[in-house]
Chains A and B, each alone.
Chain A
Amino acid sequence: MSLSALLIQLINGLAGASSLFLVSAGLSLIFGVTRIVNLAHGSLMMLGAYIAYSLIARIDGGIPGYWAAVVLAALGVGLAGVIIERLLLRRLYGAPEMLQLIATFGIVLIVKDVVLSIWGAEDLLGPRAPGLDGAVEIMGRAVPQYDLLLIALAPLVLIALTLLLERTRWGVLVRAATEDREMTAALGVNQAWLFPAVFFVGASLAGLAGALALPREPANLDMDLVVIADVFVVTVVGGLGSIRGAFIAALIIGVVKALCIAIGSVSVWQLTISFPKLTLVAEFVVMAVVLAVRPWGLLGKPLSMTATPQPRAFQRAPGRRFAVCAALAVLLLAGAPLMVDAYSIVLLTDIAVFVLFAASLHFLMGPGGMVSFGHAAYLGLGAYAAALLARSLPMEVALIAAPIAAAAGALVCGWFSVRLSGVYLAMLTLAFAQIAWSVVFQWDSVTGGSNGLFGIRPALWLSDRNAYYVLALVVAAAAVASLWRMIFSPFGYALRAARDSPLRASAVGIDVRSVQWQAFVIAGLFAGIAGALYAFSKGSISPEVLAIPRSVDALVMVLLGGVQTLVGPLAGAALLTWLQDSVARHTEYWRTVVGAIVLLLVLAFPQGLVGGIRQMRRK
């Protein structure tokens, strides 16, 4: 590759980085101030692209008309952001950490369907930006003018935001809130006014990014999810709340991706590395490396050590009555095949698997206080290990051995993750999950690549649906019972001590990191059991088992049910699985319905379903 080719690729990388930064800047702002994991940021960007498409088609005014449409689209999305904040998120600020995540998950589902119903399914390719539709020749190569505009625009937005944050009173308040939300509130800053403003600016930036993306890609229904993981990575790599950090992070990721493509396939000895394939996970690899070296991102500051107040959950082990009730419930469920139709058994098997999956994540999140955004990795590792082992070993052996693979994955991921905290920890688990996913997705000869693996059959005595259901039920129940048993064992108490007060915990001789690491491995192991059960119940698995949507599902299950309760995650898992099944059957716009139900539940029960019911009973 010639030097000029390399330089042009760098320019391409800068253009990519610029558009990445434009989307990320808004999230960085919102995320930094409100600590809301706003999954809907990608949806806002998508909305911006669609609105801009419609406005550009309507406003007929050459160059000024075009840019007026872009700005209007951005402002429109900003307004949508404010509405979301006022109507929904505002009500959840007092709720346990991360709960807003489910609300934004509901919004993602609804926005997708709304866009589909308004603009239709076909991709909408907007016109090129007037006056900027050609190319400039640089070193004998054509570079699109629009790319150069983007490259210039990103620093301008950075400067504008920096001025806004550092030279205005509003900016001072926002920065204060980023540093320490409680203290800012205590000093009398009206957050009811601050937060919507932040949301307006952040959402406008998302809308602007969407509108600016239009000349480079058609408005389409996948934009939201394609972009959301990337922008979280940029925000976290840069450091929470640091716009400048986000800028640098976007630059690094954009350039790394362009260079991967530029380098192409390289053969070293016998090994051929195809760098273009790495673009699938380049950003996650960058994030894993950065977080391993700098636990708070490039320019982020260590989070203030305000321990999140935890309700006094899990203090006493449930009594005998609880155990008897649980045993009776399992017994009742075991009788289901006598009474219900065959499909209900299929569904109940799914529910059993996901209940265990949710319980394993809950072990990490509840008593452990560590949120994982990539829990599906262990479900997937268990499932793939089971499928691969079952080829040469009896199914029963595969079922028992497979979770060990998941635990091994958690052993590696956990070692790195427990060195971080909060959202950084969560994002590192996501990075590991994405890397695992891409390995599974690319490794055709072993994992079957994008197709996955087929013909994963349970042993003959379990081949009947009912028999397999009873097995899944018994295994899941036993596994959940052992997880609960662990929560109230000395280990569980040590884990909670590590969560609530790391300093005091180490003072009394608890090795905080080691305890948390063990919790990681345990959670991975039990997710792996769920994965193995899943593989044999389906007969086929594909890489989606360990993709982001599965991880999000798990989070929603736990939070929906109530992270501070024992039974909550189980109820959440059962409810979400049942909802997705039954709603999808009856309505075309099932995503909206699921999203709306989830939203309503969150608003009605901010402590989670079971948490809410318990609170009502106390009153």
Chain B
Amino acid sequence: MENKIIKQISLFAENKPGKLSNIAHKLKDAGINIRAFTIAEAGDFGIVRMVVDNPDSAHSILHNSGFTVSETSVLGIEMEDVPGGLARIAEVLGEQNINIDYAYAFVTKTEKALLIVRVNDIKGALKVLTGANIKLIDMKDIEEYLI
């Protein structure tokens, strides 16, 4: 079940013009593709979170460029791209008292929607989601463009 954990790249950035361009260019130069992306902004700073096709390489490139960056364990949950898709997942987690720290979603090329979540209990979440027959994607799906 461990292979269902996705390594998300999280990065601290000051909220200033040109910051994102710098980050994106570093990844572009290394031939790293961003599969999912979001910025959480909080006034003077923001946290860039992204799922990329080669997280280890992205981490070392950004770290060596002087960024404060970490690899965070998150889950990638496949949703039906229909009304109620999100409701079901939130319900399953909520019933087990698992809190969603943050989440972001995007539509995949397989016409499903993908929800990236960070939870306070990743093992527990894996267990209940699998138990409820909810499909989790893994790093291989991301790396090999299966989604």
Answer yes or no: do A and B interact: no
